[in-house]
Structure 1
Amino acid sequence: MLIAGHETTAAVLTWSLFELVRNPEIMKRAQDEIDRVVGDRAPTYEDIKEMKYLRLIIAETLRLYPEPPLLIRRCRTEDNVPAGAGREATVIRGMDIFIAIYNIHRDERFWPNPDKFDPERFTRPYTNPDVPDWAGFDPAKWENKLYPNEVASDFAFLPFGGGARKCVGDEFATLEATVTLAMVLRRFDFEFDESKFAGKDDIFSEAKGLNHPVGMRTGATIHTRNGLHMKVKKRQPTTAEHKP
């Protein structure tokens, strides 16, 4: 419970800041949205509903860096299950089933340009005729919810699993991460402290498209190998028209 309730959210926030610093135009747009909606006060639930772009940033971070990157289930009874392309796979009682969420989330069959940090991908419909058993991604299926989910993606987006055993804390976790990121971005600007990464590299990260010496390693969550060292500068939120 300690890992599920703390390390996962911390990891999501770490990678959110990593991608925002790598994509300053996205960070600027997020800060503008926060300034416009929240101004210089603490965000409310109603504010979160208005900050769609920030919510998309959290969702895209969860796509690229799902926490955890792997789900494990144990079969309770023998069964035949769909295996794609019209095939079936037989699972037997007691068999452990590993679901590689990280690989699914970066599979180009489901996500165009999968290694790119693109929060607005969740606003665009996508289908792939080369995957006939996949219904595609339909933004209309999550428009009445705060965050994209497994239903909208036909189970190609599974940061919290899906079905009867889906994580019970998914809504709390995403709201917690969104509120925290909003408060941090409202008050501070960030940039990499490149001096801390001198002489460090990470072959695994380069192979996965990370291309930064911060490095990547996995355990219960995906976290940095060399730490995420930043230069932090205080910023003054723009005074904008917002609800009291």
Structure 2
Amino acid sequence: MPMTESPSPSSHPGSAPERAIPGPAGLPVLGSMLDLRRDSLGTFLNARRAHGDVVRLEAGPPGLRSVFHAVFAPEGVQQILASQATNFRKDHPLYEEVRQAFGNGLLTSQDTDYLRQRRLVQPLFTKRRVDSYAAAVTTEADTLVDHWRTADAHTVDLIPEMNRLALRTVARILFGLDAGAAEDAFHRCAPVINAYVVRRAYVPVKVPRNWPTPGNRRARAATDELNALCDRIIADRRAAGSTAGGAADEGDDLLSLLAAAGNDEDGSLDATEVREQVLIFLLAGHETTATSLAFTLHLLARHPEEQARVREEIDRVLGDRIPTAADLDRLPYLTQALKESMRLYPAAPVVSRRAVEATEIGGFRIPSGADVVVAPWVTHRNPDLWEDPERFDPQRFAPEREAERHRYAWFPFGGGPRACIGQHFSMLESVLALAMVLRAYELDAVDQEVPVAAGITLQATGPARVRLRPRDGAGE
């Protein structure tokens, strides 16, 4: 049922009436539906500029209209993600579609399921454990650098290249020697599933998944292939442990650790739960990091003076040696450049929730049952928070300047109790991989702008090409 624009009567006699939440009028029949489909990120930016930090949007024809509220101020973001997080659940249609496609893993589970999974999986993402994955990161980055040396190509598109690097890295950490099989299947199947999930999440009327439409059949085949791949690898791991006369947790890969995870309170993960965690780690663990890598390199290619400053730090700190986890704190300016890239191109540009209780945010009442979004893409570009916000400036993230800002002026990893469990891994992987690439090559931008759109994660809709110039014999 569409929500009304007029304020509801106050439940307290004598109190002031509630303020109507402003928003774009849109088209008479479709509201803002066409604008959101054509350019959702631009629509959100324009809505904040025109209407402020709490905005009401309508999309779709009467009787099938979706109504949701967008919250852009960091104080409101903090309420939704952290201080009043229990009022905002992952019941939004997008999360339900992700749940149907990839299972009920950490990204989509809620309540006791989520708490149990988080307790079981958290030991796998401690700083000490994550730091042990550094060698896998540098091995794959070195393979990429070697490939560029021998590929006889002076220009590369960073989007597919960084997707391949990030997927091979997370697959190596998850599966050990099975990275190749995982890479082929995921590159083939994931785009089909991602497009299907986003399309279903935002259509007013959904065709049942079990109807034999071409789209349903393609998505089912892709989902079945990924599920079968993960089930086979899990079974192989357990069989290898049994054949060796030992436990299945003898491996150091993340899959073996997942299969062995358990405690007296929560038990352990069964085979289906392990597979669901693996699929979520593959999705979230590679697409988000690939976005950060590609756009950091492309921004540095467009800003040669910043690239030179980053490279001077890398050369001074590393020399000719392979970076390790300990170097994360020794490369502060590279880290600042990465954070600035994540400000301009957050891998999760829009985050959705559903209000379970009426909540006052920014002087407006968000009603119970309302769909709510927060948008790093918009908050990260608010000129009240970021001077000249479209400019690439790594010095924004100098420690003293970070300390002056609101905690939720920058939130590429979310926040509160549902903050990304893999954020330290993402930062470690990104800094080490960037250091390896930038030590070997100077990059010159071919494409000055890269068009993007919002899917499950931020999607580049055009190339991010750079010319490679080997440094110090890197091309020999």
So what's the TM-score if we normalise by structure 2?
A: 0.39
- How many aligned residue pairs are there? 193
Quote the Cα distance in structure 2 between the aligned partners of 1:108 and 1:213.
21
The alignment partner of 1:97 has SS state of strand
Residue 12 of structure 1 aligns with an amino acid whose one-letter code is S
Quote the Cα distance in structure 2 between the aligned partners of 1:193 and 1:90.
45
Quote the Cα distance in structure 2 between the aligned partners of 1:90 and 1:11.
32
Which one of 25, 38, 48 corresponds to residue 318 of structure 2?
A: 38
Report deviation, 1:165: 1.1
Report deviation, 1:221: 2.6
Report deviation, 1:96: 2.0
The alignment partner of 2:428 has SS state of helix
Could you say which residue in structure 2 is the equivalent of 1:7? 287
Structure (1 or 2) with the larger CA radius of gyration: 2
Pair 1:18-2:298 in alignment = yes
Could you say which residue in structure 1 is the equivalent of 2:329? 49
Could you say which residue in structure 2 is the equivalent of 1:138? 403
Could you say which residue in structure 2 is the equivalent of 1:155? 408
Quote the Cα distance in structure 2 between the aligned partners of 1:52 and 1:6.
23
Quote the Cα distance in structure 2 between the aligned partners of 1:213 and 1:118.
16
- 1:188-227 correspondence runs (5 A): 188-193=441-446, 212-227=448-463
Task: Say if 1:115 and 1:213 are closer, same or farther in 2 by CA, change over 3 A.
Answer: closer
The alignment partner of 1:107 has SS state of coil
Pair 1:100-2:380 in alignment = no
Quote the Cα distance in structure 1 between the aligned partners of 2:312 and 2:345.
25
Quote the Cα distance in structure 1 between the aligned partners of 2:454 and 2:403.
30
The alignment partner of 1:121 has SS state of helix
Report deviation, 1:39: 1.0
Contact in 2 for aligned 1:34/1:182 (Cα 8 Å) = yes
Which one of 387, 391, 394 corresponds to residue 119 of structure 1?
A: 394
Quote the Cα distance in structure 2 between the aligned partners of 1:231 and 1:169.
31
Task: Say if 1:25 and 1:68 are closer, same or farther in 2 by CA, change over 3 A.
Answer: same
Deviations, residues 111-140 of structure 1 (Å, cap 9, x unaligned): 1111111111122766xxxxxxxxxx525x
Report deviation, 1:8: 0.9
Report deviation, 1:167: 1.0
Relative CO higher for 1 or 2, CA cutoff 8 Å, sep ≥ 6?
Answer: 1
The alignment partner of 1:138 has SS state of helix
Report deviation, 1:42: 1.1
Q: CA RMSD in A?
A: 1.9
Task: Say if 1:193 and 1:78 are closer, same or farther in 2 by CA, change over 3 A.
Answer: closer
Could you say which residue in structure 2 is the equivalent of 1:199? none
| Structure 2 segments unaligned to the other structure (5+ residues) | 1-279
Quote the Cα distance in structure 1 between the aligned partners of 2:454 and 2:374.
15
Could you say which residue in structure 1 is the equivalent of 2:367? 91
Contact in 2 for aligned 1:8/1:68 (Cα 8 Å) = yes
Deviations, residues 152-173 of structure 1 (Å, cap 9, x unaligned): 5331111011111111111111
Deviations, residues 31-88 of structure 1 (Å, cap 9, x unaligned): 110010011111112222111001101111111001110011122x3132332xxx14
Which one of 51, 58, 78 corresponds to residue 357 of structure 2?
A: 78
The alignment partner of 2:408 has SS state of coil
Quote the Cα distance in structure 1 between the aligned partners of 2:406 and 2:435.
26
Report deviation, 1:213: 4.5
Contact in 2 for aligned 1:72/1:99 (Cα 8 Å) = yes
- 1:155-194 correspondence runs (5 A): 155-193=408-446
Contact in 1 for aligned 2:441/2:471 (Cα 8 Å) = yes
Quote the Cα distance in structure 1 between the aligned partners of 2:336 and 2:375.
22
Quote the Cα distance in structure 2 between the aligned partners of 1:117 and 1:12.
14
Quote the Cα distance in structure 1 between the aligned partners of 2:396 and 2:449.
26
Quote the Cα distance in structure 2 between the aligned partners of 1:95 and 1:88.
13
Contact in 2 for aligned 1:66/1:102 (Cα 8 Å) = yes
Contact in 1 for aligned 2:350/2:375 (Cα 8 Å) = yes
Report deviation, 1:100: 1.3
Higher helix share: 2
Residue 184 of structure 1 aligns with an amino acid whose one-letter code is V
So what's the TM-score if we normalise by structure 1?
A: 0.73
Contact in 1 for aligned 2:350/2:454 (Cα 8 Å) = no
Identity %: 37
Task: Say if 1:125 and 1:37 are closer, same or farther in 2 by CA, change over 3 A.
Answer: closer
The alignment partner of 2:359 has SS state of strand
Quote the Cα distance in structure 1 between the aligned partners of 2:415 and 2:335.
20
Pair 1:234-2:470 in alignment = yes
Contact in 1 for aligned 2:443/2:468 (Cα 8 Å) = yes
Task: Say if 1:78 and 1:100 are closer, same or farther in 2 by CA, change over 3 A.
Answer: same
Could you say which residue in structure 2 is the equivalent of 1:207? none
